[in-house]
Structure formats: structure tokens, C-alpha cells
Structure 1
Amino acid sequence: MCSHYQQPSIKLMQQYLKEDLHLPLADQDFSKSIYTESQHIFPKKESLLLLKSSSGKVGFMPKKWGYPNPFDEKKLIINARIEKMQYSNSMWRESFQKRRCIIIASQFFEAGYDTYLAENGKRYREKFSFKTKSAPLTFIAGIYEQDHFAMITTQPTTSYAQVHDRMPLILNAANLNNWFQYDISSILNDKSIELVKTPILD
């Protein structure tokens, strides 16, 4: 699920978090980094994640998408099911309890079930982009371990289920701090977040 996502420029992210959401954002300078421009983030690629420090401030930290796979070193694990976070034998448990982060996207992408016949005579799976309807940026729950992070997935909405059987856990922009707290029941039960689904034509 979620083949990749588009991360906005650091200026846009910092401005929205500080001026619109009024979060206690740490003063960080990324003016000489690749993050001055919007980035398409694929597995294995580095991305800026939003983390919360012990002082209560939030700030950005670069990490690569994908945990090392304990069963196959050639493959990465890029997604983690929210339902398995608390299992005692879960590889995600400690990250979920101690190292949560937020992935910020202007949109993210998903390949659907159906295929279509292109002009070159080949068949391709349908593709869609998704973004939050009520906010200019989309916030996705994540966890991290050292230099790696994974995207949290959950059961899909009715609309999303037409494309895939899992979807990213989307966070309400007005309640981002809830993800950094231990009790996330309000996040899992939040039915107010709507996504805009747009077909992508190659």
C-alpha cells in the first residue's frame, strides 16, 4: 500500500505548523538542503519526519523509509499495522511505545485493483492520489528506529477500500499531539477526516 508520497518544501511545512497550527516548532535551518524543494519519497529514500522532544517542542529529523527486514536483508518493511503495535512479540512494539513520528505529505499515491490498457498495448494498474480534504497538508502516523521509519496502516474507509485493503493512518491536523501520547483511542475512532481521491492518468 502507498507506493510513495510527495513531501512539501520545508518552508511550507514550517510555516503551516507554526503559523496555522501554532505548534512549538524548534528553530531549524534547512535552507541549504534538498528539502527546500518538494520531494517525491519512495521506499529507501530519506524524508523529513516530525518528532517531539522531551522539552515539548516539535522538530524535523531526516530518516530513511523502511525498517530492515529480519527475515530478508534484501527487502525493507515500509508499513506497520496499527493492530499489531501492542503484541508482546511484535517487532514494532518498542518503536510504538517510545519513538512515534509524523510523516507530512502534500499527497500520497496508491495503485488500485483494476487495470487498464495503455496506448502502448500494455496493461497497467490504476493509480490514485490522496490528500486530506480539510487541510493543505496531510499528516500520516509513523514510527522510527535509529535511521529508519515505517508508515502506520489501518483499516480503509469505504472509499479507500475500493482501491486497497489497507490505508495510512491519517491524523487530524488540529490534534497532532495526540499521536505523541500513549492513549491514541481518539485517533483510531476519528471519523471526521475525509480524503480527496484523484485518478492519475499516465
Structure 2
Amino acid sequence: MDTRDDSLTRARVADLRFVAAHFEALQGLAVIPGLVVITAFFAVSAWAGDRFEGSAAWALGAGIGIALALLMSAVITRWYRRTYGQLAPSGRGGAIRWVAGVAVVAVLVVVAGTVPVTVVSLEGLVVGVAVLVLGWLVRSSLGIVLLPAGVLIVTTAMLPLGHWLGADEHPLSHTEVLLGVVCLVWIVVAVRSHIVLARTLRPQR
């Protein structure tokens, strides 16, 4: 086997190990319906303010959206199991680290929101840096999406968009806008996760 074939073999082994360790998390298409619904509600909330919240139309839309998202996610999850099978969970360590990481970022966002700075978005900076760190940690697979997204969020957070738009504060300092951006990034990552899973488990010729 020549050097090129050997390097390809090592790369494939690394990909297989990554997929085996994150098999459930890489089933990205299953979370997209829920993310689309959540993003839509954040967008409506940011656009309409309090005009629709608490109304019958809002409750009906939320109920229908959540029901459809759960149904579609269940169908997609079954498709993943039929197509790629199942793997036993490797442990709770990964999940605990994810929960701890999200909790730390949430606390930092809340703290940043109490700092009287309006030119830039400290909340956006916190989220952008968190995305960059996550992209660096998984740079071999999902980093190709996370790193550019983190750079874009940090850059946007540092621009004086609030001043340019004549607003009192930066758009990313609004909870609905910031969470909507996070959901959009998550959707892109979910698509990339599916691509990584499908490419790695594709039969080799």
C-alpha cells in the first residue's frame, strides 16, 4: 500500500471513530423540523413584538408547528434506523459536557446582557466565541461549518449595527434575534452532520 492509500485509510478510520462516538448526534435531519419551527417563532416574535404572543392564533400556530415537527422528527429517526442501524450509547460523559457547555454559555450571555454596552453586542460575542471554540474542538468534521459561522457572528456582533439602524441597542442583543441566529447555525450544522454520517457509512467500492 502506498503512502497515499495509507493516509486515506487512516482518515477513514478516524471518520468511523468519530461517527461511532457521535452516532446519535450526527442524525442531523431529525432535529431540523423542530429547529425550523423554533426559528419561525423567533422571527415572528422579533418582527411583530408582543402583538401575537398569547393570542389564540399564536397558540394554534405553536401547537400545529410543534405537532408537525415531532411527527416529522419521528419519521426521520425511523428512516435513520432503517438505513444506518443503531449503536448503543457510549456513555453519558459526552451529554454531560454538552449540557455543561450550554449552561456556561447561557450564564455568560445573561451576564453580558447586564453590561451597559450598546455599540457592540456582548451577547453575540459570547455566542460567536462559543461557536468558534466548538468548531475548533471538532474541526476535522463539523468545523468546516462552525468556524466560519463563529467568525461571522463575532464580526457581526462587533459592528455598530444598532447605531447604523438608528436603534437603541445592537440587534444581536435582542433575545429573539440572537436565538434565531443560533437556530439557523444549528440547522446548517445539522445538515452537515447528516452529510458526514452518510458519507462515512456509505459502502466503499
TM-score normalised by structure 1 residue count? 0.20
Task: Considering Cα pairs closer than 8 Å and 6+ residues apart, tell me whether 1 or 2 has the greater RCO.
Answer: 2
Task: Select the structure that is richer in strand.
Answer: 1
Normalising to structure 2: TM-score of the pair? Answer: 0.20
Larger radius of gyration: 2
- Between Structure 1 and Structure 2, the one with more helix by share is 2
